[in-house]
Structure 1
Amino acid sequence: MKRIAIQSLILVLMSSMSFAQTNPLERLNAIIGEWTGVGSGFGNNKSKIESSFKLVMGGTYLEISNESQFEPTGRNPKGEHHIDKGFISYDKTRKVIVFRQFNNEGYINQYVLNDSLSNEKLFVFETETIENFMPGGKAQWIIKLISDKEIETTFNVSFPNKDYTCFGVNTLIKKE
């Protein structure tokens, strides 16, 4: 009887330990906050960008919002206004972090965090699927932690059977 009680206690402790695991999104805590900055690339345009990364729904998701205003150019005298929004979640079945991004140009990207290219200061998201883009095209969204107050985001695109090319870079400073 005593042995059954001890075994039961061990099972209860082991199951409570598995529920006490940390949230897999905690590794992204350094990017949480409000950010402002500038961008370059994206068709040789300069831009001003406002970004927000915040945990929502009890920390289950990381909500991302980016809004860029591009300066006018000769080819685009009105400039351009880009908006993208999305959510990062943890897929328990596949044990991967997934980012679903929607933008005002009509592209919908589903990225997965590539753990083999990522570390505590670099997060490399690569597309699994892209809606409304050419078949065989891919994208990467990379977040590099420069310091606790500065990040750099890079957007790379790959056309079918081609290597990734940098499409643009944003430098963001955390708002106080």
Structure 2
Amino acid sequence: MKKQILLVSLIFFAVNVVAQNSPFQGLEFLLGNWQGTGSGFGNSQSKITTSFQSVMNGQFIEVINDSKFEPTASKPEGEHHIDRGMISFDKARNLIVFRQFHIEGFINQYVLIDSLSSANFLVFQTEHIENFVPGGSAKWTIEKTGDHEIETKFYLAFPEQEAACYGTNQLIRKK
């Protein structure tokens, strides 16, 4: 009987240790390199590469987005957008936090909204944006649409206005 209790205790301990060390378990489907196309962002088409990599002994997920937009009448040279960020786990708040730095100078600090997210759909909502209109907010959603496919959407809200989708990306995992 003591052996059974010890075995159950060890299994319980092991499961809790793994759970404590895996705050990103719900994000693992994102890990890897992605490529695809985007639309929106000023009615322009883009080619995008995205990377989600576990870094620093699994303490963070590094996110790199690189979008090249086709030329338009207002931007005949096209446009090149880069943003980089880190997803972390804030132990004190028991929240996943995503800090995203844009080439244009914006810094978004998002939190993952558990109540709106599921195994195949993630909702990140800003709690702060640097260098943007005071009172504005952003939302970033990621939907797993297939085993190796995701769709991301970026929403923006100006003060006292409803959020609007400013861009959508269709991404396929690179082999």
- Common fold: TM-score over 0.5: yes
Q: What SS does the corresponding residue of 2:29 show, helix, strand or coil?
A: helix
The structure that has the greater radius of gyration is 1
Amino acid at match of 1:56: V
Residue 98 (structure 1) aligned with residue 97 (structure 2): yes
Indicate the residue corresponding to 1:83 in structure 2.
82
Separation in 1 of the partners of 2:78 and 2:25? Answer: 37
Amino acid at match of 1:42: F
RMSD: 1.7
Deviation of the 1:20 alpha carbon: 3.5
Separation in 2 of the partners of 1:119 and 1:16? Answer: 25
Indicate the residue corresponding to 2:116 in structure 1.
117
Matched length: 167
Indicate the residue corresponding to 2:139 in structure 1.
140
Indicate the residue corresponding to 1:3 in structure 2.
none
Aligned identity (percent) is 52
Indicate the residue corresponding to 1:24 in structure 2.
23
Could you report, residue by residue, the CA deviation over 1:68-120 in whole angstroms, capped at 9, with x for unpaired residues? 00000001111100000000011111001000000100000000001111000
- Is the deviation greater in 24-33 or in 14-23? 14-23
What are the equivalent positions in structure 2 for 1:29-68 lying under 5 Å apart? 29-68=28-67
- When the two structures are superposed, what TM-score results if normalisation uses the length of structure 1? 0.90
Indicate the residue corresponding to 1:159 in structure 2.
158
Residue 74 (structure 1) aligned with residue 64 (structure 2): no
Separation in 2 of the partners of 1:48 and 1:109? Answer: 22
Separation in 1 of the partners of 2:100 and 2:155? Answer: 15
Deviation of the 1:15 alpha carbon: 6.5
Unaligned stretches of 5+ in structure 2?
A: 1-5
Q: What SS does the corresponding residue of 2:115 show, helix, strand or coil?
A: coil
Deviation of the 1:26 alpha carbon: 1.4
Separation in 2 of the partners of 1:75 and 1:16? Answer: 58
Q: What SS does the corresponding residue of 2:135 show, helix, strand or coil?
A: coil
Amino acid at match of 1:19: V
Separation in 2 of the partners of 1:18 and 1:26? Answer: 13
Unaligned stretches of 5+ in structure 1?
A: 1-8
Deviation of the 1:158 alpha carbon: 0.4
| Regions of 4+ moved over 2 Å | 12-22
Deviation of the 1:17 alpha carbon: 5.8
Amino acid at match of 1:119: S
- When the two structures are superposed, what TM-score results if normalisation uses the length of structure 2? 0.91
Could you report, residue by residue, the CA deviation over 1:135-161 in whole angstroms, capped at 9, with x for unpaired residues? 000000100000111000000000001
